[in-house]
Amino acid sequence: MSEPLLSVQGLRKHFVQRKGFPRPRTVIVRAVEDVSFTIAPGEAFGLVGESGCGKSTAARALLRLIEPDAGQVTYRGQDVRSTRGSALKALRRKMQIVFQDPYSSLDPRQTIGSALMEPMRVHGIATGRDARDRAAALLEEVGLPPGALDRLPHEFSGGQRQRIGIARALTLEPELIVADEPVSALDVSVQAQVLLLLKQLRERRGLSFLFVSHDLSVVRWFCDRVAVMYLGRIVEEGPSGRVLADPLHPYAKMLREASPVPDPAQRGVLPRIVGEIPSAANPPPGCPFHPRCAQAMPVCSTTAPRWTSATGGGGVACHLHG
Amino acid sequence: MSATAEAPVAPRVPGWRKALGKARSNPTTLVGAVICLVILAAAILAPWIAPHDPAEQDIISRLAPPGGDYPLGTDQFGRDILSRLLWGARISLTVSLGAIAVACVIGGSIGMVSGYIGGRFDLFVMQVMDVLLSFPSLILGLIVVALLGPDLVNLVVAIALTAIAPFARIARAPTLALKERAFVEAGHALGYSHLRIIFRHILPNILPEVMVMASLWMATAVRVEASLSFIGLGVKPPTPTWGGMTRDGFENILDSPWLAVFPGMAILLLVLGLNMVGDGLRDATDPKLRNE
């Protein structure tokens, strides 16, 4: 494997809240506890897990949209966390984000053209006529007519807005796109179109992706490798074919069984989901998954499992495989 | 291989035009707007439409009742009331417009920056604003004018000072909500500076709320200016001011009531007109009422 495009080591983000009066209690929400992965150039890496497992927080922390508390993020050998000022601005050109909610991701009072030209102006890529031509070309690339340039976001549907959001992410010609649940807020019929667009862009522009999603079928179709997150940690990682078809970790198995299978014969088999995801403010000791795990052993509640390499690529953090 | 748009682009109807249509369909707003425009026109055209020089003293026809050569009568120095009212509208509007413009810019910026930064800084700034807010606007204006001396600029400063806090509050509240929206985060991801995000992306979104506030506070500013003039802390005589004219007229209220009544009615009319416009604008821009 060549030098990774992005490397994340031991990323951590805790949110500290002080609640209560007159004696406030400090609550630490361990949104991201320990996350490590690498993304190779041109690779699509999926991050899956339930709501609240910290996958979006991890994505935002590595982009420094929220400041991580610990860990190391390296982009092409450059330390992301220590970058400041104009170097950070230059780094932002290389990594862009596509948001989940297409309704809040665009400034409601800014025309589409202005939203696409502003980043080019700020980074000195293009101005005036040139910028407008580039913006029109980007719109065409994401499947919108050039007439959309002078319109405002509220004139567009959710799917169209998501295309605009993708076009905006492309204005700076990034190498890596962090897609934070890019299709979860869209209708199923529109999801497929937007996913297809992302895949086309990936192939045409040679983009790398960090694809955050809770939809296993989407991740299987889009990603080369996938990591399964649970309570702020990665519990299993590997090639998406292997992890999603033959998961090793009991949690990954549970996720796979909960994912609908397009086979009428399978109807009626209820997924064995036990319990809710515990609060990240009060994670269980040992393996974070042990209270819900069907195969839990005594050791699971006392000792956190070590990371073990798996046959077929990747690895898993589970005492069953340790 | 079709990745084209899933629906034709909807025809565009700008939000402000919708709001304007709403305001137009409301007769109260319309009447208020007409009142304000008439007074504004009177103030601008005063040098040309005033029948007399506002300072010209006709000693022979002192305290003349309305009618004849003097449509609204004359005061104790024989000056034409109508001409003085027209010229007085200039002072009222200059002071209140100036004060509100200053308060809008300063207060609005404080509110946006404070809300955007958040945390302890926001807490501190808003406490200071609360202290400012706890002074009745007339008292605060009185202190400032008494300290600085009564002239046009000081009057603007005094009234602006009383209006900064409410503008800071009205700008801060929507900023708090907007800064959590993904487009602000997108701005950070695109490498925009904080100033660019505040003034290019948050400001246009809070402008409607601030404008409504401005039209409502204009009425207060007119009232405070008139009150300060009434107690002799306004623009100095012989410059005609509505408040000053009301006070002068008070001395002869029993035998020549028109001296105090006409300027008083001018104040009432302008404040009423501004309030009607402000209420109409508020209803038109309130998203809860817009869809009814």
Mean pLDDT of chain B: 83
CA B51 to chain centre: 28
Which residue out of A64, A80, A107, A189 would a mutagenesis test of the B interface target, given it has the greatest number of B Cβ atoms within 10 Å?
A: A107
For the segment(s) B76-285, the CATH number from 1.10.10.10, 1.10.3720.10, 1.20.1090.10, 3.40.50.720 is 1.10.3720.10
Q: Do B185 and A89 touch (CB under 8 A)?
A: no
Q: For residue B15, which residues of chain A lie inside 8 Å, CB to CB?
A: 152, 154
Residue type present at position A262: P
Residue A169 CB contacts under 8 Å (≥ 6 apart), including other chains: A96, A97, A98, A177
Please tell me the distance from the alpha carbon of residue A146 to that of residue A133, in angstroms, as a whole number: 9
B192 to chain A: closest CA residue = A122
User: Residues B90-122: pLDDT tens digits?
Assistant: 888 999 999 999 999 999 999 999 999 988 999
As for the ipTM of the complex, it is 0.86
Q: Do B190 and A92 touch (CB under 8 A)?
A: yes
Strand segments, DSSP code E, in A69-142 are 70-75, 78-79, 95-98
Which residue out of B12, B181, B183 would a mutagenesis test of the A interface target, given it has the greatest number of A Cβ atoms within 10 Å?
A: B183
**Between residues B70 and A202, which one has the greater pLDDT?**
A202
| pLDDT higher than threshold 50 for residue B5 | no
Residue-level pLDDT at A269? 58
Q: Token digits for A287?
A: 């393996």
Residues above pLDDT 70, as percent of chain B: 89
Please tell me the distance from the alpha carbon of residue B190 to that of residue B183, in angstroms, as a whole number: 10
Residue type present at position B82: L
Residue A42 neighbours by CB distance under 10 Å: 16
| pLDDT higher than threshold 90 for residue B3 | no
Q: In degrees, to the nearest 5, what angle opens at C-alpha B40 toward C-alphas B42 and B237?
A: 70
User: Residues B253-270: pLDDT tens digits?
Assistant: 888 888 888 889 999 999
Indicate the class that CATH gives domain A41-70+84-109+152-274: alpha beta
Closest to B232 measured CA to CA, from B222, B245, B223, B221: B245
| pLDDT higher than threshold 80 for residue B13 | no
| pLDDT higher than threshold 60 for residue B221 | yes
Please tell me the distance from the alpha carbon of residue A163 to that of residue A151, in angstroms, as a whole number: 14
Closest to A252 measured CA to CA, from A185, A299, A320: A320
Q: Token digits for B139?
A: 């008292």
Q: Do B182 and A89 touch (CB under 8 A)?
A: no
> What are the beta bridge partners of residue A11?
A35
Residue-level pLDDT at A117? 93
Q: Do B186 and A97 touch (CB under 8 A)?
A: yes
Which residue out of B184, B188, B190 would a mutagenesis test of the A interface target, given it has the greatest number of A Cβ atoms within 10 Å?
A: B190
Q: Of the segments A213-217, A288-292, B151-155, B192-196, which one has the largest average pLDDT value?
A: B192-196
Q: Do A99 and B201 touch (CB under 8 A)?
A: no
| pLDDT higher than threshold 70 for residue B2 | no
The beta-carbon neighbor of B189 closest among A96, A101, A197 is A96
All residue ranges of chain A with pLDDT < 50 are none
Chain A closest CA to B5's CA: distance in Å? 6
Please tell me the distance from the alpha carbon of residue A170 to that of residue A167, in angstroms, as a whole number: 5
Residue A227 CB contacts under 8 Å (≥ 6 apart), including other chains: A37, A45, A46, A47, A48, A234, A236, A237
Residue-level pLDDT at B198? 93
Whether the CB-CB separation of B213 and B152 falls below 8 Å is answered with: no
Looking at chain B, list the stretches that DSSP marks H as alpha helix, in order from N- to C-terminal side: 15-24, 27-49, 81-117, 119-134, 137-148, 152-178, 182-189, 194-196, 203-230, 242-250, 258-285, 287-290
| pLDDT higher than threshold 60 for residue B12 | no
Provide the angle, in degrees to the nearest 10, between the axes of the packed helices B152-178 and B137-148. 140
Q: Token digits for B272?
A: 């009423």
Residue-level pLDDT at B286? 64
The beta-carbon neighbor of A156 closest among B9, B186, B196 is B9
In this structure, what DSSP letter does residue A198 have?
A: H
Please tell me the distance from the alpha carbon of residue A158 to that of residue A183, in angstroms, as a whole number: 10
Weakest-pLDDT range from A289-298, B69-78, B159-168? B69-78
Which residue out of A109, A157, A187 would a mutagenesis test of the B interface target, given it has the greatest number of B Cβ atoms within 10 Å?
A: A109
Burial, B170: exposed, middle or buried (Cβ in 10 Å; 0-12, 13-18, 19+)? buried
Q: For residue A148, which residues of chain B lie inside 8 Å, CB to CB?
A: 9
Instruction: Identify the contact set of chain B against chain A, taking CB-CB distances under 8 A.
Output: 1-7, 9-12, 14-15, 181-183, 185-186, 188-192, 196, 200-201, 204-205
Whether the CB-CB separation of A96 and A177 falls below 8 Å is answered with: yes
Residue-level pLDDT at A274? 63
* Inter-chain Cβ pairs, chain A and chain B, closer than 8 A: 102
Residue-level pLDDT at B74? 78
Residue-level pLDDT at B128? 93
Q: Do A104 and B182 touch (CB under 8 A)?
A: yes
